[in-house]
Amino acid sequence: MIASVDELRRRDFSRILLIKLSAVGDVVHTLPVLNKLRRRYPSARIDWLVTPAIGELLRHHPAIDNVIEFTREAPTGLLGPAPIASYLRLAAKLRAARYDLVVDMHGQFRTAVLARATGATVRIGFDRPRAAVWQASTRKFPRQTRKHAWQGAREGSWLAYTHAIPIATLEMHAVDRYLNVGSLLGFENGPADFSFPIPQEAVGRIEALLDYYDIAKDKIVVIAPGTVWETKQWRREGFAEVARHFLRKNFAVTLIGSGRERAICAEVAALAPGVVNLGGETTLCELAALIRRAAICLTNDSGPMHLAVALDRPVVSIFGATDPVWIGPYRRDGAVLKTDLPCSPCYLRRLRNCRHGHACMRDLPAQAVVERAEQVLREHGGKAAAAKMRTVGAAR
């Protein structure tokens, strides 16, 4: 018998599996769910199923008992004996853990199958797409948005869940949407808590890099010019112009990115002599340690943007194909720059599918980014000064 919501809120689960495989930004969005799960079930075993590359960011978190790796050779496809065998081994491992609660925040066929394979009596995931979620919005969206944007659990995954996270409207940030699981489990009220530890080895590595490059540790501008989707990519020349502006103001400008973003970081570095190019040179934890030291972080819609928010650093982000209301820097009014066009947001990933010459990114001038970044820095400086005054006053 399926438990009622009232029964779920009263139940004290002891073995919990949280599923969010990737990407960096989506995993960061899920951290508040993890932290509230731990406060709700302080004695429970809580495991997280995630890809190995992002598992590094979670492995030291005190709220997690085990990070379980979802390897690329595992259930990314079901063709061939090797993927099937790997899939079955993972399913058997999850089954043996005897979870009594699974929270699947990923919502795809592969994760739903694994959630079902655990044998947990309570399996929670997002509701299926419904027309009502669009009707609840006062905004009008392009056809491409409705076709490609997230609007509920995908690929029939909702069939594997015993309880659905309600989606009354899409007009909320992904973080708040994820936290709606609390209405089923009885989470405490309060703001989203993104806290996660950065291991000392990563901090030490970044300190050593800053010393090596003789970087002033209180005036660091971090620029992340890369992103996974082609349509989220702002111009290299634009990032370089912004970098040159801050170099002239005696900031240390560092470029960051994953291994696959080495090329774009190198291109920006060639256009902005004097920047420190760390593209592909840091682990994910080291990247977090560097962002935590930043005076400001400048990005596309990308993982580093969400890391900056989680680490409470100032950020300015350039948006094109995606909707900042849904997945922008969480509760950072004024942090987003975008060109408002009738075709936006579209949620297309490849430039070849864009019929408008990538105008959403092409037409955004670098000077607008510079002006917004300077504004955010001034506002942050004012808030920091006010907080210091309050601290001094309290001490007296």
Cβ pair 26, 174 in contact under 8 A: yes
pLDDT of residue 384: 65
* 81 vs 242: CA distance, rounded Å: 50
3-class DSSP string for 58-113: HCCCCCCCEEEECCCCCCCCCCCHHHHHHHHHHHHHHHHCCCCEEEECCCCHHHHH
**What three-state secondary structure class fits 295?**
coil
Predicted model pTM: 0.94
pLDDT of residue 382: 73
Residue with tokens 């990070």: 67
pLDDT of 253 higher than 70: yes
Beta bridge partners of 299: 224, 317
Mean pLDDT, the chain, whole residue set? 93
pLDDT of 351 higher than 80: yes
* 192 vs 38: CA distance, rounded Å: 13
Show Cβ contacts of residue 383 under 8 Å, excluding neighbours closer than 6 positions.
none
Classify domain 6-185 at the CATH class level.
alpha beta
Digit-coded pLDDT (tens) for 178-220: 999 999 999 999 999 999 999 999 999 999 999 999 988 889 9
Classify domain 200-389 at the CATH class level.
alpha beta
Beta bridge partners of 104: 19, 125
pLDDT band at residue 74 under the 50/70/90 scheme: very low
Cβ pair 259, 226 in contact under 8 A: no
What is 171-211 written as a DSSP string?
-S-HHHHHHTTHHHHTPPPS---------HHHHHHHHHHHH
- Where in the chain is CATH 3.40.50.2000? 6-185, 200-389
